[in-house]
């Protein structure tokens, strides 16, 4: 059974490029063997991530992230059973936040900032869908 899980967390400290590169490298190395695909959006302070895969594997990955000392205020935004993946070709795509049109953020929030804490989970999922559709997601690390 496939599930899609979306969560948000706050970074403990600023996420520098070397830290982000390490997170993505680890995800892209481990996710294929666990059948996990997805996308990560961060502004170096807030992580918004969508994970897809088997229920057990996605739950274990989410629980590992929730225990990671680099994250705090981890909140589950949405989890659902799905018949197919949205990100089947990506072990972990990354939103190129510097390329995001701020009008897209404003479409889903009261301010043109990434703040999944203040909007419904469905709005965060719609935001990620639109970012994918507008080619704001880097697909390096494809399966």
- Mean pLDDT, residues 44-49: 88
Residue 70's pLDDT band (boundaries 50, 70, 90)? confident
pLDDT tens, residue by residue, 106-120 = 899 888 888 999 999
Distance CA 139, CA 126 (A): 19
Average pLDDT over residues 131-141: 64
**What is the pLDDT of the chain when averaged over all its residues?**
86
For residues 100, 140, 50, 44, the Cα torsion angle rounded to the nearest 10 degrees is -50
Residues contacting 26, CB < 8 A, separation 6+: none
pLDDT at 22: 85
Residue 26 reports pLDDT greater than 90: no
Spatial distance between the Cα atoms of 119 and 42, rounded to a whole number of angstroms:
16
Q: Work out the percent of the chain whose per-residue pLDDT is above 90.
A: 42
Cα–Cα distance for residue pair 45/17, rounded to 1 Å: 12
Distance of CA 16 to the CA centre of its chain: 17
User: What is the pLDDT, as a whole number, of residue 118?
Assistant: 92
Number of H helices, E strands in the chain: 4, 6
The predicted-structure confidence for 30-39, as pLDDT tens digits, reads as follows: 888 999 998 8
The model's pTM is 0.85
What's the confidence (pLDDT) of residue 128? 87
pLDDT score for 64: 92
Distance CA 25, CA 27 (A): 5
Output the DSSP codes for 48-76: EEEEEEEHHHHHHHHHHHHH-TTEEEEEE
- Please state, in angstroms and rounded to a whole number, the distance separating the CA atoms of residues 60 and 58: 5
What is the side-by-side order of every strand in the sheet holding 46-54? 71-82, 2-11, 46-54, 37-42, 93-95, 137-138
């Amino acid at each position: 059974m496939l599930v899609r899980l979306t969560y948000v967390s706050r970074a403990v400290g600023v996420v520098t490029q070397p830290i982000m590169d390490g997170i993505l490298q680890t995800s892209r190395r481990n996710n294929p063997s666990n059948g996990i695909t997805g996308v990560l959006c961060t502004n170096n302070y807030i992580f918004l991530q969508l994970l897809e895969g088997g229920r057990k594997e996605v739950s274990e990955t989410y629980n590992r992230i929730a225990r990671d000392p680099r994250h705090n205020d981890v909140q589950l935004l949405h989890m659902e059973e799905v018949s197919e993946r949205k990100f089947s070709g990506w072990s972990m795509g990354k939103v190129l936040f510097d390329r995001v049109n701020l009008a897209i953020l404003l479409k889903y929030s009261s301010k043109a900032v990434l703040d999944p804490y203040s909007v419904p989970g469905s709005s965060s999922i719609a935001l990620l869908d639109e970012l994918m559709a507008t080619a704001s997601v880097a697909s390096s690390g494809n399966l």
